[in-house]
Amino acid sequence: MILVEDVSFEYPSGRGEALSGVSVKFEPGEFVAVMGENGAGKTTLAKHLNGLLRPSSGRVLVDEEDTRRTSVARLARKVGLVFQNPDHLLFSETVRAEVAFALHNLGYAGKTIENQVEKTLGSLDLTRYADVSPFLLSGGERKRVALAAVLAWEPEYLILDEPTIGQDYLQKERLRNFIVQLNSQGKAVIIITHDVEFVAEAKPRVVLLSKGRVVGEGPADRVLSDADKVASASLVKPQIAKLFDQLSRFGFPRDVVDVHRAKQLLEDRLREVSVHV
Amino acid sequence: MSRSFVTLRSLEGFKFYGRKTIVHNLDPRAKALFITTVFVVSLLFTNLYVLLGLLTVHVPFLLAAGVLRRWVYSIRAGALLAGIIFFANLLTGSGVLPALALTVRFLVLLTTFSLFFMTTSPDDLGLALDRVGLVRWLSRRWLGFPNALSFTFTTAVRLVPTLAVDAQTVIDAQRSRGLELDKGNVLRRIRNYVPILIPLLLVAIRRSLELAEALEARGFPGREDRTSLYELRFKASDYLLVLGSSTVLAVSMWIFVIHPVLRLPF
């Protein structure tokens, strides 16, 4: 379990606190979305979870280990953090070497490294690029390599910073399926995003951040259909939630955010109507 | 984490912060004359007291500009080199005072550059460079356009803080992949920086290509007789600084050339 206890943080360059009094809990095997506007402190929070940043006050415990007293390399085994821009981490000559890099750093044995690399490349549909330079790949493919580079050591908690930026709809759909699949295998997945549509369809637990504070927390359908909460984090409701806002005068519930449940409710109503006719 | 932060924090001692103090408002040309004076005088004399005097001259400027704390960052960044200068001179047998003098000279140069870059906006610097005939002439010869060179310089200065942010992100990303920068022997430690330098270089190149395209899309370099929205104008404080600097410069040169006797030994 990752415990964030009353954490405040200020960057040395000043301009006030990036996080102030944040308390939040991430359970093993959980699926969570940390949402909020630009500058809300989402990435700052993410960097606290593997010890890259250490709280100015309060503390972060990863399985009861205080991040202030542990090295990032040690925490990284449990907490994998995938950065937003793949260009900030790709440097190897081949995709295979890129994915193996962290495994070498973390001290895995040669045979294990080989197996893990092949397995990871396969699961992300990258096997055919194994011997290609990561710099020759498209933006979406580079993003997948960056994900593979962290997924390779199978960290217990996987944090994805803005995974949907620069991805087209089809890729987002695949990414969502992939995340859901990972999560169902028992990995905790924490996504940092302001993509409400993506979150609405995936339905994780949502933590809303604004100006360095937690302003809302709960299941996606409840949080994302709550006009006040959504507005307080400078987000916009997902389209389905907007639609059900309009439909509420016909007796529909307002807390509907995903296509699946919307379809269910509408289908039921249509059936009722056709019975009456 | 502390290590990477410290490295980048030293850059704070050379980074411009938009403020409105009397030092920030000085004309960049006047400030350029000031640092030239400091530069020349500190190179003419190896007298410890003269050099300490030069260092002291900066204190009111640092205070007035409110950058004393950032200046400490730049000194901290130069501390290692200052130490090397001191001990290298001491060991080669120049004695304590001369070794100290040379160290102070280094600190004077560091301080004056730090003060200049912390308090002069890249835009003002560009405007000032654009007024220098030699810069325009060289720029026309090399780059085919009179203000291309000053623009290149301004852009380079402006990109430093952006690159510092990129560098921090790359360091964070690689540490998240288990990279430990300060692990292993010297050779290993140098090799540890490869995963930092390659992405940083590529990000910088990509950024500059994008910048070039964006500039061309906006009609750069434009017409030769381009005018400027902001014009630099000397104020009373600028005249005062120019007067003071040029007097010190002239007197120092006079002492150096005419009265070599006054080049006090230690």
List all residues of chain B from 185 to 244 with a beta carbon under 8 Å from chain A. Answer: 194-195, 198-199, 202-203, 206
What is A63-79 written as a DSSP string? TTEEGGGS-HHHHHTTE
Q: Out of B177, B195, B203, name the one closest to residue A76 (CB).
A: B177
The average pLDDT across A210-238 equals 93
* pLDDT for position B55: 94
Q: How many CB atoms lie within 10 A of CB B215?
A: 14
* Closest Cα in chain B to A54: B1
**Residue closest to B245 by CA, chosen among B65, B36, B56:** B36
* pLDDT for position B204: 92
pTM of whole model > 0.90? no
* pLDDT for position B9: 66
Q: Out of A47, A54, A105, name the one closest to residue B179 (CB).
A: A105
* pLDDT for position A14: 65
B217, pLDDT greater than 50: yes
B265, pLDDT greater than 80: no
Assess contact for A229 and A35: CB atoms under 8 A.
no
The average pLDDT across B208-231 equals 85
User: What phi and psi values does residue B179 have, to the nearest 5 degrees?
Assistant: -75, 125
Quote the DSSP letter at residue A33.
Answer: E
CA angle A219, A35, A188 (to 5 degrees): 65
Which residues in chain B are closer than 8 Å to A48, comparing Cβ atoms? none
Assess contact for A153 and A117: CB atoms under 8 A.
no
Q: Are A105 and B180 an interchain contact pair (Cβ–Cβ within 8 Å)? A: yes
Which of the residues A53, A89, A113 would you substitute to probe the B interface, choosing the one with the greatest number of B C-beta atoms within 10 Å? A89
Q: How many CB atoms lie within 10 A of CB B146?
A: 20
Chain A interface includes B15 (CB < 8 A): no
* Closest Cα in chain B to A77: B178
Under the banding of pLDDT at 50, 70 and 90, the label for residue B7 is low
Average pLDDT, chain B: 86
The average pLDDT across A13-34 equals 91
What type of residue sits at position A47? K
* pLDDT for position B260: 62
Under the banding of pLDDT at 50, 70 and 90, the label for residue B262 is low
Q: Are B195 and A101 an interchain contact pair (Cβ–Cβ within 8 Å)? A: yes
Chain A interface includes B5 (CB < 8 A): yes
Gap between the Cα atoms of A107 and B179, Å rounded: 11
CB within 8 Å of A240: residues ≥ 6 apart: A200, A256, A257, A258, A259, A262
pLDDT in tens, B73-100: 888 888 889 999 999 988 887 788 889 9
* pLDDT for position B4: 45
- The strands making up A188-193's β-sheet, listed across from edge to edge, are A79-82, A157-161, A188-193, A31-35, A205-210, A213-219
Alpha helices in chain A (DSSP H): 42-49, 72-76, 95-105, 110-123, 139-151, 169-184, 196-202, 220-224, 227-232, 239-247, 259-276
Helix/strand/coil percentages in chain A, nearest 5: 45, 20, 30
Q: How many CB atoms lie within 10 A of CB B169?
A: 20
The average pLDDT across B103-127 equals 90
Gap between the Cα atoms of A61 and A3, Å rounded: 5
Burial of residue A185 (CB within 10 Å: 0-12, 13-18, 19+) is exposed
Phi-psi region of A36 (alpha: psi -120 to 50; beta: other; left: phi over 0): left
Chain A interface includes B184 (CB < 8 A): no
B116, pLDDT greater than 50: yes
Assess contact for A136 and A122: CB atoms under 8 A.
no
* Closest Cα in chain B to A108: B178
Alpha helices in B11-47 (DSSP H): 28-44
pLDDT in tens, A95-113: 999 999 999 999 999 999 9
Q: Are A101 and B180 an interchain contact pair (Cβ–Cβ within 8 Å)? A: no
ipTM score here?
Answer: 0.91
The average pLDDT across B51-63 equals 93
B129, pLDDT greater than 90: no
* Inter-chain Cβ pairs, chain A and chain B, closer than 8 A: 67
B5, pLDDT greater than 50: no
Beta bridge partners of residue A80, listed in sequence order? A158
**Residue closest to A259 by CA, chosen among A186, A215, A198:** A198
* pLDDT for position A116: 96
The average pLDDT across A231-238 equals 92
- Report chain A's terminal Cα–Cα distance, integer Å: 55
Residues in chain A: 277
Which residues in chain B are closer than 8 Å to A54, comparing Cβ atoms? 1
B10, pLDDT greater than 70: no
Query: B261 or A94, which is more confident?
Result: A94
* pLDDT for position B198: 95
Lowest mean pLDDT among A107-111, B3-7, B55-59, B69-73: B3-7
Which residues in chain B are closer than 8 Å to A90, comparing Cβ atoms? 199
List all residues of chain B from 156 to 175 with a beta carbon under 8 Å from chain A. Answer: 166, 169-170, 172-175
CB within 8 Å of B192: residues ≥ 6 apart: B179, B180, B181, B182, B183, B184
* pLDDT for position B239: 95
Lowest mean pLDDT among A132-146, A170-184, B31-45, B183-197: B183-197
The average pLDDT across B251-265 equals 72
Strand, helix or coil for residue A241: helix
* Closest Cα in chain B to A73: B178
Number of DSSP helices (H) and strands (E) in chain A, helices first: 11, 10
B8, pLDDT greater than 80: no
B114, pLDDT greater than 80: yes
B3, pLDDT greater than 50: no
* pLDDT for position B263: 55
The average pLDDT across B244-256 equals 91
Which residues in chain A are closer than 8 Å to B1, comparing Cβ atoms? 51-54, 72
Which of the residues A43, A69, A74, A88 would you substitute to probe the B interface, choosing the one with the greatest number of B C-beta atoms within 10 Å? A88
Gap between the Cα atoms of B236 and A18, Å rounded: 42
Gap between the Cα atoms of A255 and B104, Å rounded: 69
